[in-house]
Amino acid sequence: MSETPYRSPQEIIDLYKTEFGAGILDARITERGEGVHRKKGYNIWIRLDRELLKPAIKKLMDIRFPHFAVIAGNDLGDEIELLYILSVFYGTQFGEYMVTFGLRLPKSDLTVPTITDLIPGALLSEREKQEFFGITVTGIPDGRRLFLPDDFPQGVYPWRKDETGIKPEMVRELWAVNRPKDRPAPPVPEKKPVPGDPVAEGKEKKTGGASE
Amino acid sequence: MDLLSPVQTGYGVWAPLAWLIAFVVVTIVVYLIWNMGESSYKKGTDQVRPYLSGNAEPEKGAVHIRASNLYWGYLQALKGYYDTMVPMHTGILTDYIVWFVAVTALLLVIVGGLS
Amino acid sequence: MKLTKSFNRSLWVFHLNTGSCNGCEIEIVATITPRYDPERFGMKLVGSPKHADVLLVTGPVTKKMAQKVRRVYEQVPDPKLVMCIGTCGQSGGVFYDSYNLDGPIDQVLPVDVYVPGCPPRPEAIIFGVVKALEKLERLEAAQ
Amino acid sequence: MTLADFIVTNAPALLVAIPLFAAFTSPAVGKISTAARNLWVMGAMLLTAAVAFILAFRVFSTGTVIYVFGAAATTLAVPLDSGGIPIRIIFTVDAMSAFMEIICAIVGTSVLLYSLSSESKNTSLEGYYALFLLMITGVFGMVSTGDFFNFFVFLEILSLASAGLIAYRIDGGLAVEAALKYFVLSTLGAILVLFAIGIYYGQYNALNIAMIAQRMQFTMLDKIALVLLIAALAMKCGAVPMHFWTPDAYSMAPSSVTAFLVVASQASLYGLFRILFTFYNVTLNCVTVGWIIIILGILSMVVGVTMAIPQKDVKRLIAYCAISQTGYMLLGVGVGLAVLGNAALSNAFGFVAMEGGIFHIFNDAVFKGLLFLTAGAIFYRIGTCDLNKMGGLGHNMKYTMIFFIIGALATAGIPPFNGFASKLMIYESVYLFNPILAIIAMVVSILTLAVFVKVFHSIFMGPQLPEYADVKEAPLPMLIGMGILAAIVILFGLFPQLVVNGLVAPAAHALTNQGGYISSVLGGA
C-alpha cells in the first residue's frame, strides 16, 4: 500500500467540501477524550444524497483504504436513515478516526446503490438492511435472506417501527411459556405503583436505535 | 526345507513367514483392544451420522472427493518440475522418433567414443 | 438412562450456543480457567458432541437453531446430561419478547439442570455441575 | 516314440508351433460357434503352457536344452560338413529363457481366460484371438530362440500383432493413433536391430548367438552394434527417454491386451539382457554400459512415477507405473552388470542385485497384469476409465477391489506380497553399490504407493454413487483370470526363497555364464 500522508479530520472535510460542494448536506467533527489520558479521538459525520455515496467512498479509498465497519439503520418515522460507518487507520496509536456517511431515504423510495463492487465485505451488512428494513439495494450480487428464518412472513420488516414492523401477536413471550398458573400468592404483597415514578408505571416508550 | 528359509539379500534377511506371524499377532491384539470399545450407541439415529456443527449431512454424490483434486498440494509444490515434464509428452509421433534417435546418438558417443 | 462406570469418574462437557449474547460463553470459559480448574475433577471441554457426556446449552433457542440443537442432542452418546446455562435458556432473559425464538430450551431438549443468572458466575456453574452429579448418584442408586 | 516322449523332446518347437497353429485355425473354428472357438483357443493356450512348464522343468533339472530345426538329431548343433558353423536355426533354452517362458505361460493363460469374457460383448473376435495367439508365439519365440536373426523375426511378429491389437477397438481413432505410434517406433527399433544383425553377420558370418559370442573381437563396429541394440530394445521395453509410446499404447489397447503387452515389453528386456551378458559379458567395459543401464533405470523410475501422479485416466496411470517398475529391473540388472568384472564385489552384492532385477521381472509381469485386468473389469462394468467419474465402486465390485488392493500393495512393495521380496533384494544390494540409487529407489516406491492410494480412493472408496448403484461384480472368467495372478502374487510373496533358489538364481547364473552358453551350443553337448 503506498504510504499516503496523514490527513487530519478537518482536512478530510475540506477535501470533501471542495470535491462535492453542495452535495455535502452537513459535515461536522465530534471530539471525545479516549483512554486514561483523555487522548483526543475524532468522528467525522458527513450527510449526503444516495447518488454521492459511491463517489464519496471511492474518494475515501483514494485517500486511505478505509476499514468498512457496518451500515447502521434507523427508522425516523417517514424516512429511514442509513449510516455507512468506516474507519481510517494510519498505523499509529490513536491515529485512527471514524468516517460516517449518513443518507436519508424517504419511505416511498427505499433504494440505495450497492458498494460491494468497491468493498466486497459490505455484502452481509447490505443483505441485513435489505432483510430488516425492506430497502432494495440495487446491484447487490447476492440478495438472499441472511438472518431471518426462511418461513418468516414476507413484507414484515422487523426493525421498522411503522405498520410493517413486528405485530404484537408475532412476539413469543418466553417467560409466559407453560408458566404454572396455580402458584400460591407471594407472602409479601407487591408494592402499589407510586404515581409519577416512571419505572413503576411499566415500560417506557420504545427508544430508537443509535439516534443521531 | 528351503521352503521356509529366509531370503539372503546381500545385506539383510527377509523371512516372510516371521513377518506374517508378527502381523497375525498384531492384528489379534488390535482386535482385542477394538473389542473393548463401547458399542451401546443407537444404530439408526444421528449418533451414527457425522457431526457437522449441527447441519445435516449433504447427499451422497456430493461428498465424494474426485481424483483430480487429490495431491493438488504436491503438484503445486513440484509445479516447476511438472511444467517442464508434462509438455514434453507431446503425443506427436515425430517427437518420439526425435527422442529415440537422439538417445541412440548419445549412446553412440558414450560407448563408442570414450572407451 | 443406564449409567456406565466411566460416568462417575469424569464428565466431558460440550458447549452449544443457541443464539446467546456470548456473556455465558465467557463465564463458561472463565469456569474452566486454572482459577476454578474443574479439570481436577475431570471436567473437560471437548470439541465434538460425540465425545461429550454433558451438553452445556446457552442462549434462547432461535428458530433457525432449533433443528440443529435437536440433531446435536441426538449425536451425544448415551448416557448424557443437559445443563442450561443462563436465564436466556429458561425464560428468554433479555430476549423475552422476541419474534424469532423457539422458546426456552426445555421446549426443545429434556433439560436436567438449570443454572440461572445473566451471566451466571463460574461458582454458580460449578454448583450446577455438583447438582448434576447429585442427580446422577440418585439415578445410580435408583438403578 | 510315445506321444509324451514326442512332446518332451520337441518341446521348444511345440512352444511356438501350437500357438501359431491355433492362431491361424481359430478364425476357421470360429465359424462353427463362438463357444467352440473359445474352447479351441483356451485349449491351445493351456497346451502351450503345459509344454512351457515341461520344458522349464527339463531345463532346470538338466541344464540348457538345445533344439535344432531340421537336423537329423535334435541336438546336432554343428552339421559335420559345415566346418564348425551352426547353419540351422537353433533354439537354446537356458535357465533365463525358461524363466521368461514361465512368466509368459502364466500371464498368457490367465489373460486369455480373462479376455474370453471381457471381449465377449465386442465384435470381430476372430482377428482378436488370432492376433493374441500370434503375440504369444512372438514372446515364446523371442525368449527361447538361439538364433539372432530368428530373434528379429519373432520381434517383428510380436510388434505387428500387438500393434494390430492396440488398434483393435477403434475408439474414435484414438486407438488407431496409439497403434500407429507403437508400430512406427517398433519398426524403427526393429530396423536398428536388423542393422546390428547385419554388422554381426558381416564380421563373423554367423547368425547363431553362441557363435557370434565365441568369435566376438570387440571392434568399433561391435560397439556401434551394441549401442543400436541397447537403444532399440530399451525403447521397446519403455525406458524413459524413449518411453513416450507406452502410456498411449497401454491406455488405448483393450485391458487384456495391455496386461500381455507388459510381458511383451519384458521379452525385449530379456533380449537386451541376453545381448549384454551373452555377447559382451565382461569383455567390454561393462562399467560404462552398466552405468548406462542404471541411468536408464533411474530415469524410468523417477519420471514414470512422477508422471503417474497427475494422471486422470486409470490405464494411463498404471502404464506410467509400469514404466517406473521397468526402471527397477534395469537398475537391478544394471548394477549386476556394472560389477560383473570385479568378482569380489559381484559375489558380495552384484549377484543379488541381478537376482533382484530378474525376480522383479516376474513379479512385475504378474502384479502389473493384475492391475490392468482390474482396470479392465471396471471399464467392462462402467464403461469409462476416467478417474473423475468413478467413486464408491467398492460397494458392488468387492472381488475386483480385493484384487486391486493385492496388485497395488504388491506394486508398491508392501511386505507380504512378492513385490517386496524383489524390491528388498534390489534396495539392499544397490545400497552397497551406491547408496543414492537405493534411496531414490525407495522414494519411488513410496510415491508408487501414493499413486495407488489416490487411485484406490477415487475408484473404490466414498459413498455409493447413484449412477453406479446397479453395477454388478465382474463375470466369473474375469475373476478367475485375476484370481490366478493374485494367488501367484501372494504365494511368491510368502515363499520368495523357494522361487529365488529354484528359478531366479539358476536364471541369473545362466545369464552371466557366457562360456556355459557357448559350450552348450557349439560343444554339441
What secondary structure, in 3-state letters, does D353-389 show?
A: HHHHHHHHHHHHHHHHHHHHHHHHHHHHHHCCCEHHH
Residues 101-160 (A) with a CB less than 8 A from some CB of C = 148-149, 151-152, 158
Buried b (16+ CB within 10 A) or exposed e, D203-230: bbebbbbbbbbbebeeeeebbbbbbbbb
Contacts of A156 (CB under 8 A, 6+ apart): A164, A165, A166, A167, A170
Q: Are residues A24 and A55 in contact, defined by beta-carbon separation less than 8 angstroms?
A: no
**Mean confidence (pLDDT) of chain C:** 88
Beta-ladder partners of A106: A79
Asked if D252 has any chain B CB less than 8 Å from its own CB, the reply is no
Contacts of B68 in chain D (CB under 8 A): 312, 387-388
pLDDT confidence of residue B1: 45
Query: Per the CB < 8 Å rule, is C103 touching A172?
Result: yes
Residue of D nearest to B97 (CA): D185
pLDDT digits (tens, 9 = 90+) for C64-110: 899 999 999 999 988 888 999 999 888 888 888 888 888 788 889 99
Asked if D341 has any chain B CB less than 8 Å from its own CB, the reply is no
The residue segments making up the domain with residue D422 are: 285-494
Residue D150, domain member (yes or no): no
Domain count along chain A: 1
Residues 23-82 (D) with a CB less than 8 A from some CB of B = none
Beta-ladder partners of A28: A45
Q: Are residues A46 and A13 in contact, defined by beta-carbon separation less than 8 angstroms?
A: yes
Instruction: Residue D402: name the closest of D487, D477, D309 by CA.
Output: D487
Residue of C nearest to B50 (CA): C75
- 3-state class of A205 per DSSP? coil
Asked if B71 has any chain D CB less than 8 Å from its own CB, the reply is yes
Asked if C104 has any chain A CB less than 8 Å from its own CB, the reply is yes
Residue A196, domain member (yes or no): no
- 3-state class of A138 per DSSP? strand
Query: Per the CB < 8 Å rule, is A166 touching C60?
Result: no
Across the interface, of B38, B40, B46, the residue whose CB is closest to C75 is B46
Q: Are residues D355 and D436 in contact, defined by beta-carbon separation less than 8 angstroms?
A: no
Confidence at A202, pLDDT banded by 50, 70, 90: low
- 3-state class of D80 per DSSP? helix
Q: Are residues D259 and D118 in contact, defined by beta-carbon separation less than 8 angstroms?
A: no
Q: How far is B65 from chain D (nearest CA, A)?
A: 7
Residue A209, domain member (yes or no): no
- Dihedrals phi, psi of D173, to nearest 5 degrees: 85, -15
Q: What is the ipTM of this complex?
A: 0.76
Residue A195, domain member (yes or no): no
Indicate the residue type of D255: S
Residue A198, domain member (yes or no): no
pTM for this entry: 0.80
pLDDT confidence of residue D495: 86
Q: What is the 3-state secondary structure (H, E, C) of D146-201?
A: CEHHHHHHHHHHHHHHHHHHHCCCCCCCHHHHHHHHHHHHHHHHHHHHHHHHHHHH
Residue D253 grid coordinates: 489397447
DSSP letters for C31-85:
HTSTTT-GGGGT-EE-SSGGG-SEEEEES--BHHHHHHHHHHHHHSPSS-EEEEE
- For the beta carbon of residue A53, count every other beta carbon within 10 angstroms: 19
Query: Per the CB < 8 Å rule, is C71 touching B56?
Result: yes
Question: What is the rounded CA–CA span in Å between residue D233 and residue D193?
Answer: 8
pLDDT digits (tens, 9 = 90+) for C6-45: 666 678 899 999 989 999 999 999 999 999 988 888 888 9
- H or E stretch covering B8: strand B7-9
Asked if C109 has any chain B CB less than 8 Å from its own CB, the reply is no
Instruction: Residue D90: name the closest of D76, D100, D105 by CA.
Output: D76
pLDDT confidence of residue B2: 55
Q: How far is A159 from chain C (nearest CA, A)?
A: 11
Q: CA C120, C125, C131, C136 torsion: positive or negative?
A: positive
Confidence at C139, pLDDT banded by 50, 70, 90: confident
Question: What is the rounded CA–CA span in Å between residue A61 and residue A85?
Answer: 14
Q: Give domain limits for chain B.
A: 1-38, 83-115
Which residues of chain D are modeled with pLDDT < 70? 1, 524-525
Contacts of B72 in chain D (CB under 8 A): none
Residue D247, domain member (yes or no): no
Residue A204, domain member (yes or no): no
User: What is the pLDDT averaged over residues A83-100?
Assistant: 89
Q: CA B94, B100, B102, B105 torsion: positive or negative?
A: negative
- 3-state class of D441 per DSSP? helix
Indicate whether A34 pLDDT > 70.
yes
Asked if B84 has any chain D CB less than 8 Å from its own CB, the reply is no
Angle between helices D476-494 and D95-118 (to 10 degrees): 150
Cα three-residue angle D137-D140-D141, rounded to 5 degrees: 80
pLDDT digits (tens, 9 = 90+) for A136-195: 999 999 989 988 888 888 889 999 988 888 888 888 888 888 788 888 888 888 788 777
* % of residues, chain C, pLDDT over 70: 94
More confident position, D224 or C136? D224
What is the CATH classification number for the domain harbouring C73? 3.40.50.12280
Residues 60-89 (B) with a CB less than 8 A from some CB of C = none
The residue segments making up the domain with residue A166 are: 9-189
Contacts of A193 (CB under 8 A, 6+ apart): A200, A201
Domain count along chain C: 1
Contacts of C49 in chain B (CB under 8 A): 51
Residue D487, domain member (yes or no): yes
Asked if C64 has any chain A CB less than 8 Å from its own CB, the reply is yes
Residue D76 burial (CB < 10 Å; 0-12/13-18/19+)? middle
pLDDT confidence of residue A206: 46
Residue D49, domain member (yes or no): no
Contacts of B42 in chain C (CB under 8 A): 78
pLDDT confidence of residue B115: 53
pLDDT confidence of residue A198: 64
Asked if B79 has any chain D CB less than 8 Å from its own CB, the reply is no
Pairing status of strand A136-138 against strand C44-45: unpaired
Beta-ladder partners of D208: D147
Query: Per the CB < 8 Å rule, is C78 touching B40?
Result: yes
- Dihedrals phi, psi of C62, to nearest 5 degrees: -75, 165
pLDDT confidence of residue D3: 87
Query: Per the CB < 8 Å rule, is A149 touching C100?
Result: yes
Asked if B59 has any chain C CB less than 8 Å from its own CB, the reply is no
Residue of A nearest to C60 (CA): A174
Pairing status of strand B7-9 against strand B12-14: antiparallel
Query: Per the CB < 8 Å rule, is B47 touching C74?
Result: yes
pLDDT confidence of residue D40: 93
Q: Are residues B59 and D303 in contact, defined by beta-carbon separation less than 8 angstroms?
A: no
Residues of chain D by 3-state class (helix, strand, coil), percent to 5 = 80, 0, 20
Q: Are residues D360 and D441 in contact, defined by beta-carbon separation less than 8 angstroms?
A: no
Question: What is the rounded CA–CA span in Å between residue A133 and residue A81?
Answer: 10
What is the CATH classification number for the domain harbouring A105? 3.30.460.80
Residue D390, domain member (yes or no): yes
Q: How far is A118 from chain C (nearest CA, A)?
A: 31
- 3-state class of C17 per DSSP? strand
